[in-house]
Structure 1
Amino acid sequence: MDVHLKNLFARFHEQFGSGPGLGPGSGTCLMKVEGIVSPFIKSIYRAAGALYRTDPWKRLRPGNLFGLRVGKDSDWSGKKQPFPCVQFVGGDAGDLGFHMFRSENDAQRMTGSRETIWVPNVELLRVTYELESLMFSSNKKMIRSLSLEVSGADRFPVIDVARCSSSGGLQFRTPTLEELRFVYAAMKAISLVHPLLQRDNGAGAKWSRVVYFEPFIETVDVQWPPEMSKGNDLVAVTVSHPPGQGYEEKAISTANQPPPSMRNHPRRRPL
């Protein structure tokens, strides 16, 4: 078999159609991001590697959605969080990585029982951990020329933004510099707080294989590397499960109620 065809077949066998995910990598390369510098890329790869080694896929499945808030809304274009909802995919099968959505509603619409559902005009950012041997040549060259950190088991992160077209196909683009800053803060925070999740043994059917977790919210301070800093060295990142859990509770009147558990309020941890 031709070497190119063998490589293509291996990519599809590794990633396509075997579980949640959007199939093989799109070939995007961070070197093509406007305004990016080498230290920025190295910081992204270090954060991705640190998250990978915490093995969130051991417990988390696509149905376990997380809310994410990085700094203030005014810190971002359009004065809103770029991708405030996160899910991990690949714990059972399919692409090993995580998806970041524009809203919790988008995440729910695209999450099927066994597959990722393609919903027209929904955009998501995805980070997929690919085997180096199956990556596009542009990413291989970047990894070697910059001596980028391996995540584990010969895998490196590939980051792109996917959009499901109205015709049923997929369109991909390279993430912007701002979107990469958001992903960096998300990876740093989630790698620290997801091990704190406590299993809720009373939730769900007894025969279900899905793991449920108790409501959760944590705030950590993430330090920006020099090449990402915009005047502030630290940014507060809040991770919640389910998404928005902590913010909704703040709107509930506490009159004549006992003091709520500290578990339902953000606790700041240094990172």
Structure 2
Amino acid sequence: MQEVALESAINSIRVRFGSHALTRAAELPPPQPWPSRTPIDRLTGIAGLPRGRLALFTGSGTCGKLTLALALLANATHEFAHAIVIDGGGFDPLSLLPFSPELGALTVVSAPAPEIAGEAASTLARAGAGFLLLMCALPEHWLGLLESGANRSGTVLVAVVDAPDRALAHASSISVGFSRRDWIWERGQMVGLRVSARCVKNRVAPPLGETELEIRYPLGTRELSDYQASVAEVPSPIEELSRCASAVV
């Protein structure tokens, strides 16, 4: 009975104000993507990160989420006038050098308290910062302002946390969970790790995909700026078996 009354109310609004007065969420067009040129683009369903929406990278310990976020940030410094990090403490700009950033476009905002981080992030998103990387938790009451500001300006939002609280998880439009599969050893030396990246939430497109990434550490005694970081997508065991089966057939 309640569903019938609700449907009747929706129909009356459409009759009075037009068919476009109400639009179901499933009928809304997806947000414009920002092609990040990283393996994460394949998981979103729109070939890039959504502008004006919050993407969340989660995972405990060493699992590749920060490395991929740094790769995104470095690419953003070449494509946006302003790529900004909201740092709650611990972000080292030198860690970005192996990804060849354009440092002139990078701004790091030190936010020693969650309130400062929330206010800074919301203000910058509303002002139209091209790319915003959140490296700390934000109070719940700032998340709505952050989302609305980014939605109007088209800011690309990425948050990196070990485990999100309920409010942050709800605010995200895309959530990618990272987990370490194993370490990569060569000649008795650890040279990287293999991780799984799985899209666990997606409000912008239907697919909830999964991929494996291989992250290589820079080795040797060179200047930090001479290192080249490597984040590459690798075939999953199922894909490898499929290729082998196709080759046999």
Structure 2 length-normalised TM: 0.31
The answer to which structure has the higher helix fraction is: 2
- Give 1 or 2: higher strand fraction: 2
Larger radius of gyration: 2
Scaled by the length of structure 1, the TM-score of the pair is 0.29
